[in-house]
Amino acid sequence: MDMPATFMGIKTGRIALHVLFWIIVYIFFAAMYSVKSNFTISAHNAIYYMPIHIGYFYAVAYWLIPTYLLHARYFAFIGNLILLACTGALLGRVIDILIVDPYLMTHTTNIDWAYIEEAKLDFWTRLFIPFNFANSIKVTNLIVWVALGIKLFKMWYERKQAAVRAELKALKAQIHPHFLFNTLNNLYALTLNNSPKAPGVVVGLSDMLRYMLYECNADKVSLKKEVLMLQHYINLEKIRYEERLDLNFTIKGKFDDKLIAPLVLLPLVENAFKHGTSEKVGQTWININLEVTDNVTDNKLKFKISNSKPDAVEGAEEKYRGNIGLQNIRQRLELLYPATHQLKIMDEEEVFLAVLELEVETDPHYEAKPLVTA
């Protein structure tokens, strides 16, 4: 993978965005103050104020906030912020008096008489005229705090996204040992009976673990691979239950080019086997239906799974509702598909039914393999 270009350790794309922002600020100031003169004069004067705005912003954004605000040193932050604001205002007044005012008086004809009278005062008196000093504080802080608002929002968003990624990683990590524990239990039961099917279980388990370890680190994976993962898991379970399990798995729709968050469907299938077949003696059944609807506007996936239930025992209802698989998938769906999913759980006396509907993406890099003809 190509590394992004950098300058002095900073990404050039980020530098370009900052340069573009300050160019826009410069044009904004030039246009705003051209009302009292013209754009050429205003553009000339705005150049001298830009270093104050730029220095003020970077001092707050990359010194005050990281050093004081983010370490809860609020009084130090406020004190230094007031000091910076006053310094910026003073520098602005110095530029007014030494550069901007003389330039205006020599390049404009409709200048106010009060402006001329004020120019007759000495430097220190003009520097601290209350109205002008307050106006300098206002102008100095206007754009800087707009920029800081953007930066603070970006920091908040990045931290929120980092927290979401960490939570998703933790939830995904729960699936791995949970799945492994269930599968090893199946393998243990087969080895106790010296079943010749045990080597097949090991091979199937190896394929599934390879997928979980090396392909599930991405945000989205191929729905086709996810379905293949489910089929591997179902085949492992069918070896264990043999003839006493009646299982139907139907797939409808085009799903080769679709993407889905990894391991979203597996907990529902695990739940059906663990709480529907392993706890029931005698004939059991599981019905699984996966359907993908391919529309122009959106792509919908509907995953419906139902299973027989064991005879009611004390605490069984809580076991269905409180197991780690269902808790995990509810939390992951809220994070991965916050407004684009529906999960319905129906817990009847003899049947447990889960219906998951969500929007899936189309893989922009998918290329259909051409049919080979004789």
What are 308-360's pLDDT values in tens digits?
887 654 444 444 444 566 777 888 888 888 888 999 999 888 889 999 999 98
Task: Tell me what pLDDT residue 290 has.
Answer: 95
For residue range 229-268, list pLDDT tens digits in order: 898 888 877 876 777 788 999 999 888 889 998 888 888 8
The reported pLDDT for the residue numbered 187 is: 72
Among candidates 100, 102, 95, which has minimal Cα distance to 127?
95
- Domain ranges in the chain are 6-128, 168-362
pLDDT at 320: 45
Q: Could you tell me which CATH class the domain 168-362 is placed in?
A: alpha beta
Tell which phi-psi region holds residue 282, choosing left (phi > 0), alpha (psi between -120 and 50) or beta. left
Instruction: Please report which residue ranges of the chain form alpha helices under DSSP H.
Output: 12-33, 39-59, 65-67, 74-95, 101-107, 113-119, 123-127, 130-192, 198-214, 223-241, 266-276, 316-322, 324-336
Distance CA 236, CA 183 (A): 8
Give tens-digit pLDDT for 129-157. Answer: 888 888 888 888 888 888 888 888 887 87
pLDDT at residue 373 tops 50: no
pLDDT at 371 over 60: no
**Backbone torsion region of residue 194, taken as left when φ is above 0, otherwise alpha when ψ lies between -120 and 50, otherwise beta:** left
Beta bridge partners of 293: 300
> How does residue 288 score in pLDDT terms, banded at 50, 70 and 90?
very high
Higher pLDDT, 221 or 166: 221
User: What is the rounded average pLDDT of the residues 195-217?
Assistant: 77
Quick one: pLDDT at residue 48?
Answer: 93
For range 256-285, the mean pLDDT: 80
Tokens 């008096």 correspond to 97
Best mean pLDDT range from 276-285, 297-306, 324-333: 297-306
Specify the length of the chain in residues.
Answer: 374
